[in-house]
Structures are given as C-alpha cells and as structure tokens.
Amino acid sequence: MAIDRRTLIAFGALALVLVVLVLGSSATTPSSGAAVDRQEQLVTVDEDSSLWPYTSSATKFEERTLALNVVVAGDPADTRRHLKQRSRGGWNETAPEQEDVSAASSDEAVGTSTAWGSADGSTRYVYVASDDDPSSGRWLDESYQLHDGEYLGSRHHIRAYASPDDGDEWTAMQAHREHWDWFRLSHTVTSAEDSQQYVEREFMGRRYVSNVSRDYLGNDRGFDSDGWVTSIEIDTDVGNDGDDTDDGSPVHLAMIGLLPGALLGGRVASRTVPREFDSLRVRHSFLLAGSLIGLYLFVRFGAIAVEARLGSLDPRFIAGAFYPLLVIGLPVCTYYFARPLDRPTAFAVSSVGFATAILLDYTALGVTRLPVTVFVHRFSTAIALGFIAVGASHAERIDPEDHGFVRMGALLWGVTLLVPLLRFL
C-alpha cells in the first residue's frame, strides 16, 4: 500500500524531534571521566584548613557538581542559628523522607528576612585537608541543609559544611536556586549566582556581622558560577539582632481555582470578540489554549497550595497525586478541544497554548535560566501535543484516510515523558 506524502512528512518530523531530544540531552551531559584539578585547586579557609572549592556527588574529584559560593567565618552553630531564626511563621523542619530524588547533576527576594527551614537533598561531598599536609584530606558530607521556598515550586537551597575539627570556626556553603520540574519529577537547578546574592543579603547590615565581601577563588567551572566566593565574618561577641520576619501573603491558594477560571474566561472571551471574528474556530481556539494553560498552572499551584496546607505530608505524595493530571489531562484536553478546528489551527493553538503555559509557569516561579535540555524537551512536548491536535481536528476525522497523527502524537508524548525519567532506572 502506498504511503501518503503527509504521513511521510509527519513521521519524518517525529524522527527529527526524537533525534534532537536525544542529542540535546547527551550534548549537555557532563562527562564523569573529565580530568579535574585536585590538590592544586585547594584554597585556604582558615589558618589550619584548606578546601576543594566544589561539591561532588561521590567521594572523588571526577564527580564534581556545583561550586562552593559562600564561606562564613564564625562559630558553625551561630551561623546555622542566625539563618534558621529568620524563618517566617509556620515553617517547620523538613522531614528526612522529603529528600530530593534528583540524580547527580553539574548543573529574588528583597530584604533581610528569609524563611530558612531545614531541608534534605541528594548527598554532596566536599574535600577538606590540612594546610600542613594537603594530601591527607578527607571527604565530608553535609552538616545540614536549608531551604527557602516551596518543595513543589521554586526555592533557594543551601548545603552547609561545618568544620570537622574542634576549634575551627568556619562553614562552607553551596547555595543554588532550583525548581520542581514536573517532567523530571525532581528539582532542576537554575542558578547559583541568584542564591549567592540571596544569602549575602541575609547577612548584610546585621549587627553581628563584621564584614561581607567577595574573594576570587577561580572555581568557575559548571553552571553560572563566576569564581567569586562570598566571605562573611561573624562577630560572636554581638548577639542576635532580632527576628525581622515578613509574613508575605500566600497567593498559591488563589491559584487553585485557576483551571475552572481559565475555562470560564476562555468561554467568555470567545463570546465577546468582535462579530467579524465570532466563529467556531475562534471560540474553540480560546478553549483549547485556555484548557492547556489552566490545567498546567492548576497542577503547579494546586500542588503548592496543598503542600502549604498539609505541611507535614511528604511532598512526593502530593506530586504523585497531581502528576496524572498532567500526564493524562494535557493530551485529553488537546484531543477534545481541537475537534472542531482545522489542521493548521489545531496544531498552532495547541503548541502555542502549551508554550504559553510553560512561560507563565516559569515567570510566576521567577525562573530566568534553564538548561538547554529543558528547552529541547519542552519543544518536543509541544510538538507531541500538536500532532494529537492535528489528529483530532475536524478535517482529519472526516478524511477517509487514516494518517495516524493521534498515534504519532501519543507515541512522542510517551517518549517525552519517559526520557527524563530514565535516570531512575
């Protein structure tokens, strides 16, 4: 049987998307076998200790991840207490089971009050050595972790490493900003520089802090680190200057009604457009785009609202409850609302609607930087929904020939869901 030209084009587009997705993922994956400097990169943190200015996902230099970007000179217990005592009301310590399930990766508020609660995450190590004998160093895991933000939203995350020797008074930190990625089912790091500045503001202007400055250590490998590390000196003779908390009003509960609101808004907008544009195509275009935007943002901010309301519940259970809405809901909405549209309109509206949802989501979370792999993946996902929309369109359904666009879109949708999760296998 002869193969229709449009079918060949569609399958060619599918193959191209899959190739781009795979190559884009592999091209930005750091090589674990890359040579790295070891002892020659050690930097002095006090009179007796030197530190390798990176973290590692294992107790070896080849597994380097993010650069250390804050060093606090002062009693480690005071450093930890100064951060935790500035948490906003209602924030509790994160339970041990609330760990970030992300794989190893190398990958702004204004004011002085921050909600730093205890956090857990994938273990990272630092290498500490004596100045007298740099070769006799040891690997340390985190002394504690802190976060400011929502687990299922966006947050600043600190891994702190206190001096292991009695009498030493320093704490090294790796601070980064991350957000929950619904397709990876884990956190994606978006910036180290943003969180470094965020931590700096925590200590600036405090009576118990004698100095905040930046020193160049040259640890600029990986992500957006520039090699400058924040140095903070705490005056232990000065007490705490109080709790300057600022209970910002939560907006996430209002977002939980976004899905029905978006659908209603799309229906109202379609009835109020100028008469010359008042057609089925315009109305259903609004409904298709509105359903995708509303559903995606409902999953994001609905999950955040539930997390805020049920603070003692493991957020991974909340993610597990909302994830099916995303996996099943997006293609179902695409198929249902694209039915009255023609092929080009269905493809364009579904793809642009999904892209708009992603843009609004990242804007609301304050995400300004993303890895290339994320762009590649979201592009592939938009194409998958576009194929489903084309297969569901009115012109396609009345066509006696079966071009398989729905099956093709469903296949690509499954691939885009599976690829980010392969690291768990």
- Tens of pLDDT, residue by residue over 327-375, are 999 999 999 999 888 888 999 999 999 999 999 999 999 888 888 888 8
Same domain, 163 and 299: no
Tokens of 44: 């002095």
Mean pLDDT across the stretch 46-71? 87
91 pLDDT more than 80:
no
Same domain, residue pair 48 and 105: yes
Q: Do 105 and 17 belong to one domain?
A: no
Number of domains in the chain: 2
| 256 pLDDT tier (thresholds 50, 70, 90) | very low
In a domain, 89, yes or no: yes
Residue 305, pLDDT > 70, answer: yes
Q: Is the pTM of this model over 0.85?
A: no
* 66 shares its domain with 208: yes
Of 199, 234, 269, the residue that ends a domain is: 234
Residues 115, 63: one domain? yes
Token pair of 289, please?
């785009």
Question: What pLDDT is stored for residue 112 in this prediction?
Answer: 39
Please indicate, yes or no, whether residues 156 and 57 belong to a single structural domain of this protein.
Answer: yes
Residue 71's beta-bridge partner residues? 172, 231
Domain annotation covers residue 240: no
Q: Are 257 and 398 part of one and the same domain?
A: yes
Most confident of 64-73, 275-284, 369-378: 64-73
| Tens digits of residue pLDDT in 153-208 | 998 888 999 988 777 789 999 998 889 999 999 888 888 998 899 888 888 878 88
Asked whether residue 23 falls in the same domain as residue 52, the answer is: no
Q: What percent of the chain has pLDDT over 90?
A: 27
Question: Is residue 162 situated within a structural domain?
Answer: yes
For residue 239, tell me if it sits in a domain.
no
- Answer yes or no: is pLDDT of 89 > 50: no
Task: Write out the residue range of the structural domain in which residue 49 sits.
Answer: 41-234
**End of a domain among 180, 205, 234?**
234
Task: Reply yes or no on whether the pLDDT at 253 is more than 60.
Answer: no
Tell whether 34 is covered by a domain.
no
Do 228 and 92 share a structural domain? yes
Kindly state whether residues 212 and 285 are assigned to the same domain: no
SS3 of 182, please?
coil
CA distance 118 to 12: 49
Nearest C-alpha neighbor of 181 from the set 328, 1, 303, 59: 303
**93 or 181, higher pLDDT:** 181
**Angle of helix 5-27 relative to helix 372-392, nearest 10 degrees?**
160
Look at residue 241 and tell me if it is in a domain: no
Is 183 in the same domain as 149? yes
Query: Is 32 inside any structural domain?
Result: no
* pLDDT given for residue 396 in this prediction: 66
Asked whether residue 164 falls in the same domain as residue 206, the answer is yes
Range of weakest confidence among 99-108, 262-271, 297-306, 413-422: 99-108
Does the residue 13 lie in any domain?
Answer: yes
Is the pLDDT assigned to residue 2 strictly greater than 50? no
Instruction: Give the domain-ending residue among 180, 210, 234.
Output: 234
Say if strands 117-118 and 186-191 run parallel, antiparallel, or are unpaired: unpaired
